[in-house]
Amino acid sequence: MQEVVAIGEILIQFNAFTPGPLRYVNYFEKHIAGSELNYCIAITMIGNKCYFVGRVGDDEFGRNAVEYARGRGVDVSYIKVDPEAPTGIYFVQRHFPVPDKSEMAYYRKGSAGSRLSPEDLPEELLKRVRLVHSTGITMAISDTARQAVLRAFELAKFKSFDTNIRLKLWSADKARETIRKVLDNLEFLITDPDDSKILIGETDPDRAAKIFIEKYGVKYLVYKLGPKGALVYYDGAKYEAPGYHVRVEDPTGAGDALGGVFISSILSGYTPENAIRYAIVAATLVVTIRGDNENIPTLKDIEKFLNGY
């Protein structure tokens, strides 16, 4: 079993029970989410160990977040409780104004999670584990959180990063300038055409891969294409995994499930070809429900899915 550390913010998600503009939604369903937690759960579901590093508030939602993460098999020993700020929340609006897509409304400014700082880092653990993972979200939420990611990556043996640029959290210029600081020598880079355009001005997968691999030294590039599937570039080869056509309830979290299952499968010794097939299954299952991580499958579930198709 390999050990991974994910650094980020756990958020409480209020998912619109009905589709349409949030102003007309009367019921919300609570879930526990946040990109790096979704990754951590995906890594765990595939049989590797994941530690979550971050902060929650000293409130009911913070306790809920930690209990949920622990219940999903995540190691929560390095989640700090911050008495000075609340646990962050957000709402998900579904199928409006674009059918099959969701939008987020964040209420997280000054949250406990955004107060993550380099002092929260378990340095020995970060030096020891197989992989340290974070995302563009954590680099966007505060200066101290960004410094924490930079410091963690200095300590890490191997690094993994999902660009996850959320333009509600920062500008494209700030995202480009900041994320470029962590692109060098990543073992895993997970991105998509929108983020790639912001970062390197390129949406074409082959041309983007050339830049990320040759200029920045990325080892495994996972290029997500939404419902169309994903591509993996590794060691001079390209692997294509098409998406499955399913009814979309809420796509939020699908990219994290895809990235987390891919990474964990590689760490477990699967080939890139199989790892990306498994990852696509995970993303497919996630879009069929509300909630980011409840539908992330085990390898056994993935096998059943593939046999059933």
32 interacts with ligand KDG by CB under 6 A: no
3-state secondary structure of 199: helix
User: Could you tell me the smallest distance in angstroms from the CB atom of residue 75 to ligand KDG?
Assistant: 19
User: Could you tell me the smallest distance in angstroms from the CB atom of residue 105 to ligand KDG?
Assistant: 11
Specify the residue, 167 or 246, whose C-beta has the smaller distance to ligand KDG. Answer: 167
Token pair 């294409």 is found at: 225
101 interacts with ligand KDG by CB under 6 A: no
Which of 55, 292, 295, 302: binder of ligand KDG (CB under 6 A)?
A: 292
Structure-token pair, residue 153: 């990556």
Strands of 229-234's sheet, edge to edge? Answer: 79-82, 49-57, 3-7, 131-135, 159-162, 188-191, 220-224, 229-234, 237-242
Size of the site for ligand KDG (CB under 6 A): 13
Q: Within positions 219 to 278, which residues make up the interface with ligand KDG, using CB under 6 A?
A: 252-253, 255-256
DSSP state for residue 75 in the 8-state scheme = B
Which of these, 124, 127, 130, lies nearest to 3 by C-alpha position? 130
Q: Measured in Å, how far apart are the chain's first and last C-alpha atoms?
A: 29
| Torsion 134-217-181-140 (CA) sign | negative
136 to 175: interface string for ligand KDG, x by CB under 6 A: -x----------------------------x---------
Which of 12, 15, 34, 260: binder of ligand KDG (CB under 6 A)?
A: 34
Specify the residue, 2 or 252, whose C-beta has the smaller distance to ligand KDG. Answer: 252
**Residues 82, 120, 162, 256: which is the catalytic one?**
256
Specify the residue, 175 or 213, whose C-beta has the smaller distance to ligand KDG. Answer: 175
Cα gap 245→240, rounded to integer Å: 16
113 interacts with ligand KDG by CB under 6 A: no
**Phi and psi dihedrals of 52, rounded to 5?**
-105, 130
Which of these, 16, 199, 30, 221, lies nearest to 104 by C-alpha position? 16
191 interacts with ligand KDG by CB under 6 A: no
104 interacts with ligand KDG by CB under 6 A: yes
User: Could you tell me the smallest distance in angstroms from the CB atom of residue 293 to ligand KDG?
Assistant: 8
Specify the residue, 2 or 38, whose C-beta has the smaller distance to ligand KDG. Answer: 38
Structure-token pair, residue 231: 């591509």
Cα gap 20→85, rounded to integer Å: 31
Q: Which stretch binds ligand KDG (CB under 6 A): 29-37, 117-125, 192-200, 265-273?
A: 29-37
Q: Which stretch binds ligand KDG (CB under 6 A): 28-36, 149-157, 197-205, 232-240?
A: 28-36
**Do residues 130 and 157 lie in contact, with contact meaning Cβ atoms separated by under 8 Å?**
yes
Single-letter amino acid, residue 203 = T
Specify the residue, 54 or 272, whose C-beta has the smaller distance to ligand KDG. Answer: 54
Has 256 been annotated as catalytic? yes
Token pair 């790639």 is found at: 196
Which of 4, 12, 25, 33: binder of ligand KDG (CB under 6 A)?
A: 33
DSSP H helical segments within 72-164, as ranges?
123-128, 136-141, 143-155
Specify the residue, 137 or 231, whose C-beta has the smaller distance to ligand KDG. Answer: 137
- Judging by DSSP bridges, how do beta strands 28-33 and 237-242 pair with one another? unpaired
In the complex, the residues that contact ligand KDG under the rule CB under 6 A are: 11, 33-35, 38, 104, 137, 166, 252-253, 255-256, 292
Q: Annotated catalytic sites, by residue?
A: 256
